[in-house]
Amino acid sequence: MKSKKPVKQKEIYSSDEQNIILDSIADGVFTVDREWRITSFNRAAEEITGVSRSEAVGQFCKDVLKADICERNCCLRSTMKTGKQIVNKNVYIIDAEGRRIPISISTAILRDKKGKLLGAVETFRDISVEEDLRKAIQEKYSFVDIISKNHKIMQLFDILPDIASSGSTVLVEGESGTGKELFARAIHNLSPRKKQPFVAVNCSALPDTLLESELFGYKAGAFTDAKKDKPGRFRLAENGTLFLDEIGEIAPAMQVKLLRVLQEKTYEPLGATQSLEHNVRIITATNKDLEQLVREGRFRKDLYYRINVFKISLPPLRERMEDIPLLVNHFVGRFNVLQNKNIQGINEETMSVLMSYSYPGNIRELANIIERAFILCKTGLIEKKHLPESLFMNAADYSAGEASSLRDVEASYLLSVLKQNNWDRLKTARQLGMHKSTLYRKVKSLGISLPL
Amino acid sequence: MKVALSVFKDSISTVFDVAQQILLLEIDGANRPKRTALKIEATDPAQRAAQLSEEGIEILICGAISRPLQEAIMARGITVYPFVRGKTEDVIAAYQSGRLGNASYALPGCRGRGQGRVRSRNRGMHCRWR
């Protein structure tokens, strides 16, 4: 009886089979030859980069990937040169829509059976989710995280690096939800103190007695339950930045203590017999008109001048309506990542409603509106029916009808800005960053009638 | 008119956000353009945009660019030709002869989206297709 012949093991996969295997991998994978031209490009790589396989194959990998490291610190080049793998290096790429996508890349060398160098392989995965969560947890926000094309914010961008490096006390004024803490963190992260702590305290959240021990700390035995020393926020922020939010809410007695701390750069923990020196940069914020509070005698004039070395006034969202599409896109992207959804965006009709609303709660309110829409909208585009009813009650007259075209959105927006500026054409043109003659032309072409 | 090209060695730099060199062309129509090399060191969008503006640049031709940076540059009235690739001399010639919209100068994946689309604040919020 003949013995059964062993089945010959298939030695190599066909090109199609290799593609099927590569396409089944969730990570992006591409290979390059020795000239840095892409030889294979899997489905996940297409999805992450937004470049199709047919467009990618044969191109230089740097042109396809568009990563920050491509020209000066190319990982593939390093692997080809040293033969060493690179594992999980965090970089970012820019897709065709201008989005910065954080990715983690790994590289390895490719050789044939005889050990001859064929090229290299790079695998990468989108780590937007991890990055977004990391930023939210660590609150490492920078100017890149402030989304705006409003001219007032742009003017702030111009001067903020100088303010950040100066070390001076800064007062940030703005309505609730305008991003005061985000700006404070951005100033800190741009300053020479960026590696030191940023400590935020909401002054209105604590009664005066607690605020004092919270800010300055206490010594053991200072009061009945003070069993051991507790460092205050000033101590925790040493060499860094202390952010005092809602500064307008603190009581007169506390204002005096704070003034002394700022003037003399020393403070005394409760129950201490000696003053401690501090090296803390102070950034304060308020949603009140501090000047008005000073006039009314509710805020000390000397403290006001002490904290108001440099004042930043953040415009409310209703005065930077041109930012709404950018912010909406940002929040849609963010909630897609956080909630693992694939909402495409927002339709024009819905955008027109959002552009006509006055946002008393500012950006925080807009974020909540989008988050709410995410609960109701399962897929596709966010529609009017996904918005809260309160928005329609306040919608501008112009969009009361069915604003369904881009022209309607533009007209509605222009009208709302004109109203905000009390029909002042010059002010409106300046806010929109256009020449007044362009504004007149637009008003005429959109058929908007202006009051005499 | 001052036209800036973001360059790396003899080509357009792939990512403008991290590019460090600018080739500045001063075009007056009659003479051969005057060329100057500039270095950009700022990393945050506002400072990069400010530097371009301070140099009096009116047009920027660059590779991939992130949206916040592009918005910051456009807010200063600078027209941006984004997602361009190619040898610097070829790109200059293409710009001067109005051929920059050709697909061969577009980064892969950006045809009809980035390159060929001029973005300028002065021309409104929307894209103008060439």
Concatenated DSSP letters for A416-451? Answer: HHHHHTTT-HHHHHHHHTS-HHHHHHHHHHTTPPPP
Cβ separation A97–B113 shorter than 8 A:
yes
Number of H helices, E strands in chain B: 3, 8
What is the CATH classification number for the domain harbouring A74?
3.30.450.20
| In a shared domain, residues A287 and A383 | no
Quickly state the pLDDT bin for A136 (edges 50, 70, 90). low
Q: What is the pLDDT of residues A239-289, one digit of tens each?
A: 999 999 999 999 998 999 999 999 999 998 888 888 889 999 999 999 999
- Which comes out higher in pLDDT, residue A156 or A403? A156
Measure the CA–CA gap between A335 and A141, rounded to whole angstroms. 18
Average pLDDT value for residue range A193-200: 92
Condensed to tens digits (0 to 9), the pLDDT of residues A313-342 reads 999 998 888 889 888 988 898 888 788 888
Q: What pLDDT, in 10s, does the model give residues A59-98?
A: 999 999 999 999 988 998 888 888 888 999 999 999 988 8
Arithmetic mean of pLDDT, A360-381: 93
For the cut 70, the answer to whether the pLDDT of residue A401 exceeds it is: no
Query: What radius of gyration do chain A's Cα atoms show?
Result: 29
Question: Measuring CA to CA, which residue among B19, B8, B23 is closest to residue B48?
Answer: B19
> What is the nearest CA distance from A56 to chain B, expressed in angstroms?
7
pLDDT of residue A144: 65
CB B21 within 8 A of CB B42: no
Using an 8 Å CB-CB cutoff, list chain B residues near A143: 44-46
Residue A132 belongs to some domain of the structure: no
Give the pLDDT score at B11: 96
In chain B, which residues have their Cβ closer than 8 Å to the Cβ of A98? 64-67, 70, 82, 114
Is the CB of residue B60 less than 8 Å from the CB of residue B81?
yes
Tokens of A414: 């222009």
Residues of chain B with C-beta less than 8 angstroms from the C-beta of A64: 108-109
Q: Tell me: do A179 and A120 sit in the same domain.
A: no
Structure tokens at A66: 């568009």
Query: SS3 for A274?
Result: coil
A100 vs A330: CA distance, rounded Å? 12
Same domain, A224 and A276: yes
Test B44 with A151 for CB contact under 8 angstroms: no
The answer to whether residue A131 sits within a structural domain is no
Domain presence at residue A4:
no
pLDDT band for position A399 (50/70/90)? very low
Q: What is the CATH number of the domain that holds A229?
A: 3.40.50.300
Which of B18, B73, B84 is the best substitution to test chain A (most A C-beta atoms within 10 A)? B18
- Which is more confidently placed, A271 or A308? A308
| pLDDT at site A452 | 53
- A29 with A84, same domain: the answer is yes
How far is the alpha carbon of B127 from chain A, nearest alpha carbon, in Å? Answer: 13
Residue numbers in chain B where pLDDT is lower than 50: 113-117, 120-130
Please list the alpha-helical segments (H only) found in A265-300: 290-295
Q: Is the model's pLDDT at A141 over the cut of 80?
A: no
Q: How many domains does chain A fold into?
A: 3
CA–CA distance, B114 with B93 (Å, rounded to integer): 19
Last residue of a domain, one of A126, A153, A188: A126
Within-domain flag for A47: yes
DSSP letter assigned to residue A73: S
More confident residue, B59 or A392: B59
Looking at the complex, report in whole angstroms how far the Cα of residue A154 sits from the nearest Cα belonging to chain B.
7
Mean pLDDT of chain B: 84
Domain co-membership, A284 together with A336: no
Give, in degrees to the nearest 5, the angle at Cα A436 between A434 and A438: 65
pLDDT of residue B122: 41
Domain presence at residue A197? yes
My answer on whether A66 and A120 are in the same domain is yes
Interface size, chain A vs chain B, as Cβ–Cβ contacts under 8 Å: 90
Query: Is the pTM for the entire model greater than 0.80?
Result: no
Q: What residue numbers bound the domain in which A122 lies?
A: 15-126
For the domain spanning B2-129, the CATH number is: 3.30.420.130
Domain end, chosen from A126, A159, A180, is at A126
**In this structure, is residue A372 part of a structural domain?**
yes
Q: Which residue, A280, A315, A350, sits at the end of a domain?
A: A315
Arithmetic mean of pLDDT over chain A: 85
Q: How confident is the model at residue A230 (pLDDT cuts 50, 70, 90)?
A: confident
Residues A297 and A345 in one domain: no
Structure tokens at A96: 């065709």
Let me know whether A120 and A197 are in one domain: no
A34-58 pLDDT per residue, tens: 999 999 999 999 999 999 999 999 9
| Of residues A56, A151, A158, nearest to B46 (C-beta) | A158
Contacts of B50 in chain A (CB under 8 A): 158
Whether the Cβ atoms of residue A117 and residue A290 lie closer than 8 Å to each other: no
- Residue A11's pLDDT is 56
- Rounded to whole angstroms, what are the CA distances from A209 to A206, A215, A248, A268? 8, 10, 17, 14
pLDDT computed for residue B124 by the predictor: 33
The residue with tokens 């004042």 is A311
Residue with tokens 């140099």: B55
Band of residue A234 on the pLDDT scale cut at 50, 70, 90? very high
Of A18-22, A293-297, A367-371, B117-121, give the lowest mean pLDDT range.
Answer: B117-121
Minimum mean pLDDT among A91-95, A173-177, A224-228: which range? A224-228
Tell me the pLDDT tens digit for each residue of A435-449.
888 888 888 888 887
- The pLDDT of residue A419 is 73
Interface pTM, i.e. ipTM: 0.86
CA A343/CA B61 separation, integer angstroms? 33
- Assigned domain for A452 exists: no
Query: Given this model, what pLDDT does residue A299 score?
Result: 94
Domain identity same for A176 and A74: no
A307 and A333 in one domain?
no
Of A101, A113, A161, A442, nearest in space to A312 by CA: A161
Of the pLDDT bands very low, low, confident and very high (cuts 50, 70, 90), residue A293 is very high
DSSP string for A91-141:
EEEE-TT--EEEEEEEEEEEE-TT--EEEEEEEEEE-HHHHHHHHHHH---
Tell whether A172 is covered by a domain: yes
Instruction: Write b or e for each residue in B39-61: b if 16 or more Cβ atoms lie within 10 A of its Cβ, otherwise e.
Output: ebeeebbbbbbbbbbeeebbbbb
Task: Please tell me whether residue A361 adopts helix, strand or coil conformation.
Answer: coil
- Min Cα distance A326 → chain B (Å) is 10
Same domain, A53 and A99: yes
What is the per-residue pLDDT for A104? 94
Same domain, A151 and A87: no
Identify which of A196, A238, A197 has the alpha carbon closest to the alpha carbon of residue A217. A238
B43 → chain A, closest CA residue: A144
| d(CA A272, nearest CA chain B) in Å | 44
